[in-house]
Amino acid sequence: MKLFCFPHAGGFSLYYNFLRKHEYQHIDRIFLFDYPRNSFTFDGTSEDFRCYVKAALSYIMKNLAEGEEYLLFGHSMGAFVACEAGLTMQNTHKKAPAGVIVSGTNPPYAVTLGKYNEMPKDKFSFAKKLGGLPQQILDDPEKCEKIFRIAETDLKAIAVYQPTQTTENDRLDCGLVLHGEKDIIIDPAYHSYWNRTFSNIYSDMVFSGDHFYLDNHHEEIATLIDDFAGARAKESTK
């Protein structure tokens, strides 16, 4: 089974390289995606966020052979991208993912209910507050400034994101939900709305840590993803 990974706002594939260091039983190849941000043209509409989703879809289709099983994984903004790409792969291209792993975010339906109507006015400072950068980047003011400006642009795209509205018949089949117990992004009031995205939840896991709880749980997360892949592979043979 293949695993496609989509990064957070201001993030890059390098952050998720830890997933490639694990010895998997059920995953044979991992694809770490970088958004081709320089090719995006924004106009302040919902199409801004669709740029990220379309790029992800193109990447999946390019690297997926006919009949191959695959998982999608996204953290924070990347989770929204994974969900939207998964829904399009399933309902338009008829190539549904075996499962989708969402990390460090609220359900897309929270956006529909207005959760992100009040985005931080100072998106640069908000991106900085979330963290997630290695010390060598933080020690380089020029690189730090560049990355936080990228995050600011990504957050503007999230502000105009309009999630796909699903029914019981076209939701993603199965999701794995992960987040940190001290994540300032997560709003418990919306957590139950993952049932508007997934028909089934394989597991809903809370880890110690904040928005970037992944930093201290590399092995646990990789093992959990591998177990999820194994369970979904068994499900497909029934």
pLDDT higher than 70, residue 164: yes
Confidence at 121, pLDDT banded by 50, 70, 90: low
Beta bridge partners of 73: 5, 101
Single-letter amino acid code for the residue at 134: P
More confident residue, 50 or 123: 50
Name the pTM for this structure.
Answer: 0.92
Q: Please compute the mean of the pLDDT values over residues 93-120 and round it to a whole number.
A: 88
Q: Which domains does the chain have, with CATH numbers?
A: 2-236 (3.40.50.1820)
For tokens 């309902």, the residue is 91
